[in-house]
Structure 1
Amino acid sequence: MSKKLFIETLGCQMNVRDSEHMIAELNAKEGYELTQDSTEADLIIINTCSVRERPVHKLFSELGAFNKKKKEGAKIGVAGCTASHLGKDIIKRAPYVNFVLGARNVSKIGEVVNKDKAVETDINYDESDFAFKDFRSSPFKAFINISIGCDKSCTFCIVPKTRGDEISIPADLIVKEAQKAVKSGAKEIFLLGQNVNNYGRRFSGEHEKINFTELLRRVSAVYGVERIRFTSPHPLHMDDEFIEEFASNPKICKSMHVPLQSGSTELLKAMKRGYSQEWFLNRTGKLREMVPDVSISTDIIVGFPGESDADFDATMKVVREVEFEQIFSFIYSPRPLTEAAEYTNVVDPEVASERLKQLQTFQDTILDKIMQRQIGKIYDVYFEELRADGYVAGRSSNNFLVKVKGSEELLGKIADVKITKAARMHLEGELLA
């Protein structure tokens, strides 16, 4: 009988891809088969996130729960960014953990799984040329890493300390991954990196130097690729060439996640983001001008140290002007190993909570208007998921979740849908013949 692997993934889409890499390597080298039931697993892995404090706290409660329920002899491993950050301290706090594998050491999974109390957390380890075995959680789309690590020095962010310096993955490897994904049925390629549009800044060996815009052209030239998405571009690197390629290339989906963090130029300086409110509005304005149906999402931190009423008003100004289709908003969470963790000008928690509530309430009013404006429009929808009550769901090019009445025959197909109903989080429509 094959051994069973259960893996829980916390955090971002890069973690999702790292989990897929671990699943593939463990299947090919150790014979593990994936299970959705942790109680029957021979190996349980939690792939962790450390961007905010809550996922770190969740790790140890999850570990305790898995340890109580796991079958006799089952191993437990911790991977990802919290593994990079805490390392051997995880085993000190939870001695039943069998190994710890950092976010920059995914290719070592086949080694550590059979080495009790192994700790591999070298953030300078280079696996940019490593050819992972293939596994994809969805047959319809493929996540592909285009870089590892991050060279930015944002004062609130722990990622450079958990994923190391930024290295681009060679373009030929990325193109080969896209070709393999298409052969296995995927129509959509999702390119991943901490700052995707900084691609090409550094390679670890002698590789052709190209930028992100050229990489987009090469991936779109792969036969069978019908859609390309990516996350996340950095506002600082959104030059005209990049925006013009985004607008003119029909294979690039017309949605973009552009992390704002704050609308205050002064606070952006304190965060070391490298751009101003004026620059952000200029770039998103050019996007709206060149792609009228573009969907723009963003991240916003409320209550960053020193945030004044005027700073928060500046953020609200950007939200009003851009009218984001989606906002991921959070109260600032101090992270260890970051510069901002040492700042003493802390915002009162009640003030921060009230600002977050105000932001989210205002965004809901914007979103309700945006969703109502979609009624009557026709979108090409890529169907990926069966839903309850006879519905099939998918995404439009500009990333609206769309449901239609239908069956599994629609899965993996792109079809035109006329929008007939709108809710805050999804649209409903009718298939056009």
Structure 2
Amino acid sequence: MSKKLFIQTLGCQMNSLDSEHLLSELKTHKGYTQTEDMNEADLIIINTCSVREKPVQKLFSELGSINKSKKTSAKIGVCGCTASHLGEEIIKKAPYVDFVLGARNISKIKDIVDKKGSVEVDINYDESNYTFGSNGHSLYKTSVNISIGCDKECTYCIVPFTRGDEISIPSDMIISQVQKAVDGGAKEVMLLGQNVNNYGKRFSDGSPKSSFTQLLKDISHIEGLERIRFTSPHPLHMDDEFITEFATNPKISKSIHMPLQSGSTKVLKDMKRGYSKEWFLNRATKIRELVPEVRISTDIIVGFPTETHEDFLDTIDVIEKVKFDQIFNFKYSPRPNTAALTLESIVSDEEASKRLEEVIELHKIHQEELMHKNIGKTIKVLFEELKAGGEVSGFSDNYIQVFVKGSEELLGQIVDVKITSASRTTLKGEVI
């Protein structure tokens, strides 16, 4: 019988792809198969996130719970960003953990999984030329890393300390991965990186400098590929050439993540984001003008240590002007090794909570308004999942989840759907 592997994935889409790579490596080299039942697993991996403080605090209590309930012979591994920045401390606090593997060391899993006490957390390790096997859970779409690490120095962010310096993956490797997925039936690709539109500035194999815009053009030439998505681009690198390609290339999904973080130019400077409120609004306005159906999402941090009430009102002003389709809202969370950790905060926790609630409530109003505009429209939907009650779900080109009555014959198909109703987060319709 094959050994069973259970993976719990926390955090971002890059973590999800890392988990797929972990599974692929362990399946190919160690004979593991995945299970959704932790109690039957021979190996339990938690793939961690360290962007926020609370998940890190909960890690050790969760590890203790797992240790009590797992099979006696089962091993426990901690991977990902928290593994990168805590390293040996994890095993010191939880000696029953068998190994620790950092976010920049995924390809080493086959070498350490059977070595009790192994700790591999080198953030300078270069995996940019390593070819991982495919283990995607969807037949219809795939995710591909185009870069690893981050060169930015945002004062609130721990990622450079957990994923290392930015290195781009050679374009021929990327195109080969996408082509292989398309040959297997995939119609959509998600390109992943900490700052995808900074792609091409540095390769470890000596490849000449390139650009994200050129990569988009090259990938769009793959026959059979219907949609190209990507996350996360950085507002600083949204030049006119990139925006024009986004707007005019029919294969690029008209959904874009523009992480604002703050609407205040002063706070953006304190965060070392590299752009101003005016630049962000200019870029967002240009995108909306060129692509009226675009769906813009963003990240917003309230309660940054230097954020005055007037700074917060600048954030509200940007939200009112852009009317984001989706906002990922956070209260500032102090993280180890970051420059903002040394700042004395002028914002109380109570005030930060009030600001967060105000952003949430304003966004709800905008969501209602934006989503209901879709009623009566006909949109193309790629269906990918059977749901309860005889429904099938999929996503529109601008990445709104859509539900229709239907069966498995719709799966993997891109079909026209007339929208009949809308909630704040999803649409319902009828296949035409």
TM-score for the superposition, normalised by structure 1: 0.99
Structure 1 position 66, deviation (Å): 1.4
Structure 1 position 58, deviation (Å): 2.5
Aligned pairs for 1:3-22 within 5 A? 3-22=3-22
- Please give the alpha-carbon distance, in whole angstroms, between the structure 2 residues aligned to 1:20 and 1:184: 17
Q: Match for 1:405: what amino acid?
A: K
Match of 2:57 in 1: 57
Partner SS, residue 335 of structure 1? coil
Deviations for 1:210-241, whole angstroms, at most 9, x for unmatched residues?
20000011111112111010000000000000
- Please give the alpha-carbon distance, in whole angstroms, between the structure 2 residues aligned to 1:19 and 1:307: 36
Q: 1:306 to 1:9 in 2, by over 3 A?
A: same
Match of 1:182 in 2: 182
Deviations for 1:99-139, whole angstroms, at most 9, x for unmatched residues?
00000000100001011100000000001000112211221
1:160 aligns with 2:177: no
Aligned pairs for 1:120-199 within 5 A? 120-199=120-199
Aligned pairs for 1:4-403 within 5 A? 4-403=4-403
Out of 145-154 and 53-62, give the one that drifted further.
53-62
- Please give the alpha-carbon distance, in whole angstroms, between the structure 2 residues aligned to 1:132 and 1:208: 23
Partner SS, residue 224 of structure 2? coil
Structure 1 position 424, deviation (Å): 1.0
Tell me the C-alpha RMSD between the 2 structures: 0.7
Deviations for 1:34-75, whole angstroms, at most 9, x for unmatched residues?
100011111000000000012112322221221111112110
Structure 1 position 429, deviation (Å): 0.4
CA contact (8 A) 2:155 2:271 kept: yes
CA contact (8 A) 1:267 1:311 kept: yes
TM-score for the superposition, normalised by structure 2: 0.99
- Please give the alpha-carbon distance, in whole angstroms, between the structure 1 residues aligned to 2:2 and 2:208: 42
Structure 1 position 323, deviation (Å): 0.5
Partner SS, residue 210 of structure 2? coil
- Percent identity over the alignment is 63
Structure 2 unaligned spans of 5+: none
Q: Match for 1:138: what amino acid?
A: S
- Please give the alpha-carbon distance, in whole angstroms, between the structure 1 residues aligned to 2:64 and 2:407: 40
CA contact (8 A) 1:47 1:80 kept: yes
- Please give the alpha-carbon distance, in whole angstroms, between the structure 1 residues aligned to 2:61 and 2:374: 42
Q: Match for 2:403: what amino acid?
A: K
CA contact (8 A) 1:170 1:208 kept: no
Structure 1 position 182, deviation (Å): 0.8
Deviating beyond 3 angstroms after TM superposition, the runs of 4 or more aligned structure 1 residues are none
Q: Match for 2:431: what amino acid?
A: L
Partner SS, residue 394 of structure 1? strand
Structure 1 position 209, deviation (Å): 2.7
Structure 1 position 346, deviation (Å): 3.9
- Please give the alpha-carbon distance, in whole angstroms, between the structure 1 residues aligned to 2:22 and 2:224: 26
Deviations for 1:335-356, whole angstroms, at most 9, x for unmatched residues?
0110001111341011110011
Out of 51-60 and 31-40, give the one that drifted further.
51-60
Out of 49-58 and 94-103, give the one that drifted further.
49-58
- Please give the alpha-carbon distance, in whole angstroms, between the structure 2 residues aligned to 1:208 and 1:171: 11
CA contact (8 A) 2:191 2:229 kept: yes
- Please give the alpha-carbon distance, in whole angstroms, between the structure 2 residues aligned to 1:424 and 1:292: 19
Q: Match for 2:361: what amino acid?
A: T
CA contact (8 A) 2:308 2:346 kept: no
Q: Match for 1:412: what amino acid?
A: G
Query: Number of matched residues?
Result: 432
Deviations for 1:288-336, whole angstroms, at most 9, x for unmatched residues?
0000000000000000001111000000000000000000001000001
- Please give the alpha-carbon distance, in whole angstroms, between the structure 1 residues aligned to 2:61 and 2:339: 28
- Please give the alpha-carbon distance, in whole angstroms, between the structure 1 residues aligned to 2:375 and 2:15: 35
Structure 1 unaligned spans of 5+: none
- Please give the alpha-carbon distance, in whole angstroms, between the structure 2 residues aligned to 1:140 and 1:267: 41
- Please give the alpha-carbon distance, in whole angstroms, between the structure 2 residues aligned to 1:306 and 1:245: 37
Q: Match for 1:290: what amino acid?
A: L
